[in-house]
A = this chain, B = another copy of it.
Amino acid sequence: MAFCREVGTPVQQFVTRSDLGCGLRGLHGEAGVSANSLWPNLAGQKRDYLAKQLKAFRDQDRVDPMMNAIVQSLSDADIEALAAYYSSLKP
Protein backbone atom coordinates (compact mmCIF):
# COMPACT_ATOMS: atom_id res chain seq x y z
CA MET A 1 0.00 0.00 0.00
CA ALA A 2 1.24 3.42 -0.90
CA PHE A 3 1.15 4.80 2.60
CA CYS A 4 3.33 1.99 3.92
CA ARG A 5 6.43 2.91 1.93
CA GLU A 6 9.50 3.91 3.88
CA VAL A 7 10.38 7.56 3.43
CA GLY A 8 12.59 10.33 4.67
CA THR A 9 14.01 10.63 8.13
CA PRO A 10 14.56 7.84 10.66
CA VAL A 11 11.45 8.90 12.56
CA GLN A 12 9.37 8.85 9.38
CA GLN A 13 10.80 5.42 8.61
CA PHE A 14 9.81 4.31 12.09
CA VAL A 15 6.26 5.50 11.58
CA THR A 16 6.08 3.70 8.25
CA ARG A 17 7.47 0.43 9.63
CA SER A 18 5.25 -2.30 8.32
CA ASP A 19 4.35 -3.79 11.70
CA LEU A 20 3.30 -0.46 13.15
CA GLY A 21 3.13 2.32 10.64
CA CYS A 22 0.60 0.79 8.28
CA GLY A 23 -1.87 0.56 11.12
CA LEU A 24 -1.35 4.03 12.48
CA ARG A 25 -1.05 5.71 9.11
CA GLY A 26 -4.06 3.84 7.81
CA LEU A 27 -6.09 5.06 10.76
CA HIS A 28 -4.79 8.58 11.12
CA GLY A 29 -3.70 9.53 7.64
CA GLU A 30 -0.48 10.19 5.78
CA ALA A 31 0.01 13.51 7.55
CA GLY A 32 -1.83 12.90 10.81
CA VAL A 33 -5.19 14.02 9.44
CA SER A 34 -7.69 11.19 9.58
CA ALA A 35 -10.02 10.33 6.73
CA ASN A 36 -12.60 8.87 9.13
CA SER A 37 -14.71 11.14 11.28
CA LEU A 38 -14.55 8.73 14.21
CA TRP A 39 -10.75 8.71 14.28
CA PRO A 40 -8.97 11.79 15.58
CA ASN A 41 -6.54 13.98 13.75
CA LEU A 42 -3.10 13.65 15.35
CA ALA A 43 -1.15 16.32 13.48
CA GLY A 44 -0.11 19.06 15.88
CA GLN A 45 -1.72 17.38 18.87
CA LYS A 46 -0.02 17.83 22.25
CA ARG A 47 3.02 15.57 22.54
CA ASP A 48 2.50 14.55 26.17
CA TYR A 49 -1.19 13.87 25.53
CA LEU A 50 -0.35 11.60 22.59
CA ALA A 51 2.22 9.71 24.64
CA LYS A 52 -0.20 9.30 27.54
CA GLN A 53 -2.94 7.97 25.26
CA LEU A 54 -0.62 5.56 23.43
CA LYS A 55 0.52 4.16 26.79
CA ALA A 56 -3.09 3.93 27.95
CA PHE A 57 -4.04 1.98 24.79
CA ARG A 58 -0.99 -0.28 25.13
CA ASP A 59 -1.71 -0.98 28.80
CA GLN A 60 -5.46 -1.30 28.12
CA ASP A 61 -6.30 1.54 30.49
CA ARG A 62 -8.11 3.08 27.51
CA VAL A 63 -10.17 0.52 25.64
CA ASP A 64 -10.41 0.42 21.87
CA PRO A 65 -9.94 -3.02 20.34
CA MET A 66 -8.22 -1.72 17.21
CA MET A 67 -5.86 0.64 19.01
CA ASN A 68 -5.16 -1.84 21.79
CA ALA A 69 -4.03 -4.36 19.16
CA ILE A 70 -2.00 -1.96 17.05
CA VAL A 71 0.11 -0.54 19.86
CA GLN A 72 0.40 -3.56 22.13
CA SER A 73 4.07 -4.18 21.36
CA LEU A 74 5.32 -0.59 21.60
CA SER A 75 8.12 0.29 23.99
CA ASP A 76 8.10 3.55 25.91
CA ALA A 77 10.77 4.79 23.49
CA ASP A 78 8.59 3.87 20.50
CA ILE A 79 5.73 5.80 22.05
CA GLU A 80 7.84 8.87 22.71
CA ALA A 81 9.05 8.80 19.09
CA LEU A 82 5.52 8.54 17.74
CA ALA A 83 4.26 11.33 20.00
CA ALA A 84 7.12 13.57 18.93
CA TYR A 85 6.47 12.78 15.27
CA TYR A 86 2.73 13.43 15.22
CA SER A 87 2.95 16.52 17.42
CA SER A 88 5.50 17.99 15.02
CA LEU A 89 3.15 17.81 12.02
CA LYS A 90 1.15 20.83 10.93
CA PRO A 91 -2.55 20.39 11.73
Chain A residues with a Cβ under 8 A of chain B: 34, 36-41, 44-49, 52, 61-63, 91
Q: Is the CB of A37 within 8 A of B61?
A: no
Q: Is the CB of B34 within 8 A of A39?
A: no
Q: Is the CB of A38 within 8 A of B45?
A: no
Q: Which residues of B contact A61 (CB under 8 A)?
A: 63
A44 to B91, CA, bound (A): 9
A52 to B67, CA, bound (A): 15
Q: Which residues of B contact A36 (CB under 8 A)?
A: 46
Of B38, B39, B49, which contacts A37 at CB under 8 A? B49
A50 to B88, CA, bound (A): 22
